[in-house]
Amino acid sequence: MVIKELNINFTSTHPKAKILGRRDLLSKELEGNWATSFKGRGLEFSGYRAYSLTDDASNIDWRASIRAKSLLVREFEEFKNFNVVFVLDVSDSMLFTSCDKLKVEYAAELTYVLSKAASNAGEAIGLALISDRLVKIVQPSFGKGMRKRFEMVLSDNKNYGGLIDFKKSFLQLYSSIGPRAILVIVSDFLGLGDDWERYLSMLAIKHDLIGVIIRDKRDRQLPSVATQVVVKDPSSEETLLIDSKKFSKEYAKRSLDHENYIKSVFKKLRGRSLVIENCDDFSRSIERFFAEGKVRT
């Protein structure tokens, strides 16, 4: 599916300046507590040293001690910065809306706000666009120049559209990202296919995961009026004529089941997730999400 024009706004010079202003405020608020949202990321293994009586015995590395024939303890160094890579799904199912912004346009603005907060907090930020492949990658780096890079990539309509294949795109992503990072995956998580969890779990071994599940209200429920509706699968182009009244309850139930399934996958991989509708201002949902706790449990 080809997208001719994008409705993405990175500044407050827009009729909805009040909402965008709140997003600027959100970005500033997140700067102060960004790092504290990630339990266990403040220390990194640096090496071994000889055990002394003042050391905590739990820090003894018994395998290394046996090899060295002397008691050794693990030493850790504190590090203040880490890489945050925003992974945006730009596939065809994200090119849909029942309000004024496509899911992918909304997701791009959300990605930009979060990246701005992370960058201002001193983190290295990177960006990856995925569909049935790794469409584009910007390696994590520091500095205000990254904000311009994000704007250029997110504003290029040539980067949008295509089928979704998480298996292939996650494999390419795995081999493209270097050091341990926080991956913020922004997608509607529709049309994933079989075995996608295994490839997400590969990323989880090396990286921390946050899933941002983007939903349009039509992803969650059919029109409330009793009518016949034509639905189309963006991947297969298959169309169905359905009675909205007859299938509305089943449709809503399956949608909720799917959302809970996606959230359970992230939880199983020791990550966190949240669901946001593209017709709502995401500021409060994001603020509440980071206030609720840490990524790893």
User: Residues of the chain with pLDDT > 90: what percent?
Assistant: 43
Stretch 30-46: mean pLDDT: 52
pLDDT confidence of residue 14? 38
Write phi, then psi, for 229 (nearest 5 degrees): -125, 135
Residues 55 and 169 in one domain: no
* Total domains, the chain: 2
pLDDT confidence of residue 267? 93
What b/e readout covers 172-194, taking b as 16+ CB neighbours within 10 angstroms?
A: bbeeebeeebbbbbbbbbbbbee
Q: Taking all residues of the chain, what is their mean pLDDT, rounded to a whole number?
A: 82
Q: The domain spanning residue 142 has which CATH number? A: 3.40.50.410
Domain span including residue 57? 43-78
Residues 202 and 248 in one domain: yes
Least confident of 17-31, 94-108, 231-245: 17-31
- Give the predicted TM-score (pTM) of the model: 0.77
On whether residue 177 sits in a domain, the answer given is yes
**pLDDT confidence band for 221 (50 / 70 / 90):** confident
Task: Please tell me the distance from the alpha carbon of residue 126 to that of residue 88, in angstroms, as a whole number.
Answer: 11
pLDDT confidence of residue 20? 43
Residues 245 and 124 in one domain: yes
**pLDDT confidence band for 19 (50 / 70 / 90):** very low
On whether residue 123 sits in a domain, the answer given is yes
Residues 133 and 70 in one domain: no
Residue 230 burial by CB count (10 A; 0-12/13-18/19+): exposed, middle or buried? exposed
pLDDT > 60? residue 78: no
Which has the higher per-residue pLDDT, 58 or 29?
Answer: 58
Residues 50 and 182 in one domain: no
On whether residue 182 sits in a domain, the answer given is yes
On whether residue 8 sits in a domain, the answer given is no
Residues 160 and 65 in one domain: no
Stretch 148-164: mean pLDDT: 94
Residues 51 and 145 in one domain: no
Residues 71 and 111 in one domain: no
Most confident of 16-20, 37-41, 136-140, 195-199: 136-140
